């Protein structure tokens, strides 16, 4: 089932290579499949090319944490908080703030 979902997402991204939602879905699917390098690549591309796609910051930060890249996680949470604050996305800001504060307190 998961491979089938991945195949479908790859078909969709061929038709819409610039679609940030599809990139996000692919990153999430690769992460679910344990292919962290591919997931990381898509998440990092999203924050570079689609910085307003705010859902990425939380998941990229969590991936950085899982990879032992603490400072990268801190940096991406900070960038995400600035972005969500500018967009008045209070829910996403609060989520980022919570994981950021937890990481800083460690």
**Domain ranges, ordered by start, for the chain:** 2-105
The torsion angles phi and psi of 77, rounded to 5 degrees, stand at -65, -40
The answer to whether the beta carbons of residues 45 and 38 sit under 8 Å apart is no
The CATH number of domain 2-105 is 3.40.50.720 = no
User: Across the chain, what does the average pLDDT equal?
Assistant: 95
Closest by CA position to 46, among listed 24, 62, 61 = 24
Looking at residue 106, what is its pLDDT?
79
Looking at residue 2, what is its pLDDT?
56
* pTM of structure: 0.91
């Amino acid at each position: 089932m998961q491979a089938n979902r991945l195949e479908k997402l790859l078909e969709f991204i061929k038709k819409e290579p610039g679609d940030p939602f599809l990139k996000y879905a692919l990153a999430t699917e690769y992460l679910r499949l344990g292919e962290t390098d591919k997931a990381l690549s898509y998440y990092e591309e999203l924050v570079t090319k689609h910085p307003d796609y705010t859902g990425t910051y939380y998941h990229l930060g969590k991936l950085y944490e899982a990879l032992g890249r603490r400072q990268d996680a801190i940096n991406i949470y900070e960038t995400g908080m600035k972005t969500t604050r500018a967009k008045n996305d209070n829910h996403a800001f609060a989520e980022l703030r919570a994981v950021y504060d937890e990481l800083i307190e460690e």
